[in-house]
Structure 1
Amino acid sequence: MDEGQRLDVYIANQLDHLSRSFIQKLIEQGNIQINGNRDIVKKYKVIENDEIEVEIPDPELLKVDAENIPIDIIYEDEDVVVVNKPQGMVVHPAPGNYKGTLVNALLYHCKNLSSINGVIRPGIVHRIDKDTSGLLMVAKNDKAHRSLAEQLKEHSINRIYIAMVHGNIKEERGTINAPIGRHPVDRMKMAVVHRNGKNAVTHFRVLERYGEYSLIEAKLETGRTHQIRVHMTYIHHPLVGDPIYGQKKEKFHTNGQMLHAQTIGFIHPTKGEYMEFHADIPDHFSKIIKTIENLYRHK
Structure 2
Amino acid sequence: MRSNNKTKRPQGGTFNRNQTPPKQFKVTEGGELLLFLLDKLSPQGRNSIKSLLAHGQVSVDDRVEKLYNHPLKPGQIVTIRKDRTTVAPVLVGLKILFEDDDLIVINKDTGLLSIATEKETELTAYRQLTAHVRLHDPKNRIFVLHRLDRDTSGVMIFAKSERVQQKMQDGWKDIVKERMYVALVEGMVKKTQGTISSWLKETSTLKMYSSFTPNDGQHAVTHYKVIQANRNYSLLEVHLETGRKNQIRVHMQDLGHPIASDKKYGSKTKPFSRLGLHARVLAFEHPTSGQVMRFETDIPKQFLSQFREEPK
The alpha-carbon distance between structure 1 residues 228 and 63, as it changes in their structure 2 partners (threshold 3 A), is: farther
TM-score by length of 1: 0.68
| Secondary structure at 2:219 match in 1 | coil
Query: 1:269: which partner in 2?
Result: 287
Aligned mate of 2:258, from 235, 238, 259: 238
Partner letter of residue 189 of structure 1? K
Question: What is the CA distance between 1:288 and its match in structure 2?
Answer: 4.2
1:211 aligns with 2:226: no
Query: 2:197: which partner in 1?
Result: 177
Larger Rg: 2
Aligned residues: 223
Query: 2:40: which partner in 1?
Result: none
Query: 1:188: which partner in 2?
Result: 206
Partner letter of residue 109 of structure 1? H
Quote the Cα distance in structure 1 between the aligned partners of 2:227 and 2:182: 9
Query: 2:276: which partner in 1?
Result: 258
Question: What is the CA distance between 1:251 and its match in structure 2?
Answer: 5.2
Aligned mate of 1:280, from 298, 302, 307: 298
Quote the Cα distance in structure 2 between the aligned partners of 1:122 and 1:77: 12
Quote the Cα distance in structure 2 between the aligned partners of 1:242 and 1:218: 16
Question: What is the CA distance between 1:234 and its match in structure 2?
Answer: 0.6
Assess if the C-alpha contact under 8 Å between 1:205 and 1:217 holds in 2.
yes
Assess if the C-alpha contact under 8 Å between 1:67 and 1:100 holds in 2.
no
Partner letter of residue 127 of structure 1? R
1:164 aligns with 2:178: no
Quote the Cα distance in structure 1 between the aligned partners of 2:270 and 2:153: 21
Question: What is the CA distance between 1:236 and its match in structure 2?
Answer: 0.5
Partner letter of residue 289 of structure 2? K
State the identity as a percent. 35
Query: 1:289: which partner in 2?
Result: 304
Alpha-carbon displacement from aligned partner over 1:104-139 (angstroms, at most 9, x marks no partner) = 101111249xxxxxxxx9411100100000000110
The alpha-carbon distance between structure 1 residues 210 and 241, as it changes in their structure 2 partners (threshold 3 A), is: same
Alpha-carbon displacement from aligned partner over 1:55-112 (angstroms, at most 9, x marks no partner) = xxxxxxx978697543300010000110100100001111321230111101111249
Quote the Cα distance in structure 2 between the aligned partners of 1:228 and 1:63: 37
Question: What is the CA distance between 1:275 and its match in structure 2?
Answer: 0.7
TM-score by length of 2: 0.65
Alignment map for 1:1-299 (pairs within 5 Å)? 69-70=91-92, 71-111=94-134, 122-154=142-174, 156-183=176-203, 187-193=205-211, 194=213, 196-248=216-268, 250=269, 252=271, 254-282=272-300, 286-290=301-305, 292-294=306-308, 297-298=310-311
Question: What 5-or-longer segments of structure 1 have no aligned partner?
Answer: 1-61, 113-120
Partner letter of residue 259 of structure 1? L
Quote the Cα distance in structure 1 between the aligned partners of 2:194 and 2:207: 24
Quote the Cα distance in structure 2 between the aligned partners of 1:175 and 1:251: 26
Alpha-carbon displacement from aligned partner over 1:167-220 (angstroms, at most 9, x marks no partner) = 21112211111111113xx53210002474101001110000112211000011
Assess if the C-alpha contact under 8 Å between 1:243 and 1:257 holds in 2.
no
Quote the Cα distance in structure 2 between the aligned partners of 1:151 and 1:201: 18
The alpha-carbon distance between structure 1 residues 156 and 83, as it changes in their structure 2 partners (threshold 3 A), is: closer
Assess if the C-alpha contact under 8 Å between 1:131 and 1:255 holds in 2.
no
Q: Which stretch shifts more, 224-233 or 69-78?
A: 69-78
Alpha-carbon displacement from aligned partner over 1:249-270 (angstroms, at most 9, x marks no partner) = x252x22321000000110000
Q: Say what the alpha-carbon RMSD is for the aligned residues.
A: 2.7
Partner letter of residue 289 of structure 1? L
Quote the Cα distance in structure 2 between the aligned partners of 1:236 and 1:135: 27
Question: What is the CA distance between 1:153 and its match in structure 2?
Answer: 4.1
The alpha-carbon distance between structure 1 residues 69 and 200, as it changes in their structure 2 partners (threshold 3 A), is: same
Partner letter of residue 212 of structure 1? N
| Secondary structure at 1:135 match in 2 | strand
